[in-house]
Structure 1
């Protein structure tokens, strides 16, 4: 049978390394999802095809629609029901509870894009604050358009999930919000 205590130490070390590897993989998946949101979701040039490529991977889930695209040849329809008063959504989710990091990432991405002018939270989003919300804020994209950014944690398919979402209001909903 060989050296049983030595074998036990080896198996214990192997189990510890495997657990560390899983932690590293989860951490890198979280970083990839946060970076994907920051690098893509605020771009007016993002298309459904580009979103599918940017958010590819088993650890990242996304929801994207653009009913009034800035640069795409055709609208990207919503897979489900669009939020009333919005014409674009970019949402990234991943397993785990990283709501605080999601809020930091969203704030930094907004600042990097120069989207810093606060706007009133529109009526369409006043009920969006739920347990787990870490950021819910409206920002003026320009004098006539508003976006709502929402981050936090919620129940997901595999336990808690972290989400980062930005929704662009329609021109009509933006005018109403900016009154």
Structure 2
């Protein structure tokens, strides 16, 4: 976020310099042209940065990590987002690193990633039961039986159209 602030300020100075040159070339331009152009350039950069963040970030994901959910949002303080909502967070899953256990057919352990625009990235190991349509986050204290199946877990039901279930179980 600090880099974006520095980039916006630098762009503002560059735009102000160009507006100052234009004002000297055309003296009839009003005095407020220089700060207005600088402000508009910084606001435009902020809007561009918000709208292109998802595409730029998802393009840097390694092969095998697939974006499964990217909800678009609108906000009062971004009135333009009611015209074109923007993506500020998304969920991805590592399909290449999926682990299966022959003793528990239909169960898959995957790494899910929650990536936000202005927040930390979270890596969540998840156990999915493709047959029973349920999921359990693998956390400290989860017990595995000797054959590798989960002994006790906090299973939660999942809908068939759940993005995580659809991405992982649709490929099994």
TM-score, length-scaled by structure 2? 0.32
Whose relative contact order is higher, 1 or 2, with alpha carbons under 8 Å and at least 6 apart?
Answer: 1
Larger radius of gyration: 2
